[in-house]
Amino acid sequence: MNKLLVILGAGGHGRAVADAALKMGYRTIVFLDDRAAGRCIGFPIAGPLDRAEALRDGKTDFVIALGDNRLRRRVAMGHDLPWARIVHPSAQISPFAELGAGTVVLAGAAVNVCARVGRHCIVNTGAVVEHDNVLEDFAQVAPRAALGGSVRVGALAQIGIGAVVKNNVAVGMGCVIGAGAVVVKSTEPGGVYVGVPAWRREKGAAV
């Protein structure tokens, strides 16, 4: 591939994205971060996030590696850049699935047939996005979480680590599904849901 990737965010998720990108064949990585300087897993942190436009040269790809969905959206809205899709080579992506620009799929995850994953989503390590799922923009599925067939995940929603969402259920925009929850009924926008079966713990942040 012989290309440079600029990763916006040098935290834990940024390092996981770098690891996947190198395995995809990116030649080298440059990080940008507002809070860190120096080097990150051996690659330079070349300044704050707003330096991204200055690194645009027609040959370089960009990806936002910020785990906070709203922050990721804010950064994406603030920059018009060639956003890459980063897919770890061990992930299983159906040729009949769609991945939006800026989306990251990490090691061992599966995105099955006719699933549609929007822009700047995260499908984390070992997560399962089953057939006919729709993940709207800036949604996130944490490690080992599993979505049954025809699940819809609203924009900015977060499915927690190891959570399960039953087939045909809709997770509302901006919902947070807690670690290990089992969602058996559709959830209201902006709610925080925990437990088995999942119940609404409180009103979440306004979307």
Under the binding rule (CB under 6 A), the answer on residue 180 touching ligand COA is yes
Chain residues 20-39 in contact with ligand COA, contact rule CB under 6 A: none
Chain residues 49-78 in contact with ligand COA, contact rule CB under 6 A: none
Under the binding rule (CB under 6 A), the answer on residue 160 touching ligand COA is yes
**139: enclosing H helix or E strand:** none
First to last CA, the chain: 38
Contacts of 44 (CB under 8 A, 6+ apart): 30, 31
When the beta carbons of 79 and 201 are compared against ligand COA, the nearer one is: 201
Contacts of 198 (CB under 8 A, 6+ apart): 163, 177, 178, 181, 182, 183, 184, 187
Q: Is 13 a catalytic residue?
A: no
For residue 167, the tally of other CB atoms under 10 A from its CB is 13
* DSSP line for 93-113: E-TT-EE-TT-EE-TT-EE-T
When the beta carbons of 55 and 194 are compared against ligand COA, the nearer one is: 194
Residue 67 known to bind ligand: yes
Judged by CB under 6 A, which stretch of 25-33, 89-97, 110-118, 191-199 contacts ligand COA?
191-199
Judged by CB under 6 A, which stretch of 38-46, 103-111, 131-139, 189-197 contacts ligand COA?
189-197
The two tokens of residue 117 are 């994953």
Under the binding rule (CB under 6 A), the answer on residue 111 touching ligand COA is no
Give the catalytic positions in this structure. 131
* Residues making contact with ligand COA (CB under 6 A): 124, 142-143, 160-161, 176, 178-180, 192, 194-195
